């Protein structure tokens, strides 16, 4: 069985770059946990215009991602504070 992996889009990298070191490590650890446990969890889906995307919580931070089962790939699209990230998603969606 192939191992899942994740990639981060430029927008996701931008959000990650805005985090302090401790929070960045926390988020990256969560991403590694996510890809190592994806087969055993039920990802939390987003709705509306963001149907097909999922969210993960890391304290007050949110990770917005997409799953490509055929490639065993998780693409990270956004990382940010909960209130700001959903406001940005509504604005861009």
Residue by residue, pLDDT tens for the chain (93 residues) are 459 999 999 999 999 999 999 999 999 999 999 999 999 999 999 988 889 999 999 999 999 999 999 999 999 999 999 888 867 666 665
Q: Evaluate whether 17 touches 80 at the Cβ level (below 8 Å).
A: no
5-92 fold: YaeB-like fold (3.30.2310)
Q: What is the DSSP string of 20-85?
A: -HHHHHHHHHHHHHHHHHGGGS--EE--GGGTTEEEEEETTEEEEEEEEGGGTEEEEEEEEEHHHH
User: pLDDT value at position 42?
Assistant: 92
State pTM to two decimals.
Answer: 0.87
C-alpha closest to that of 17 among 27, 32, 6? 27
């Amino acid at each position: 069985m192939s191992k899942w992996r994740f990639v981060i889009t430029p927008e996701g990298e931008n959000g990650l770059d805005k985090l302090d070191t401790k929070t960045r490590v926390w988020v990256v650890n969560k991403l590694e946990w996510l890809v190592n446990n994806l087969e055993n969890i039920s990802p939390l889906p987003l709705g509306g215009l963001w149907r097909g995307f999922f969210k993960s919580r890391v304290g007050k931070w949110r990770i917005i991602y997409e799953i490509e089962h055929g490639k065993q790939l998780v693409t990270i699209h956004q990382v940010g504070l909960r209130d700001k990230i959903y406001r940005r998603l509504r604005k861009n969606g």
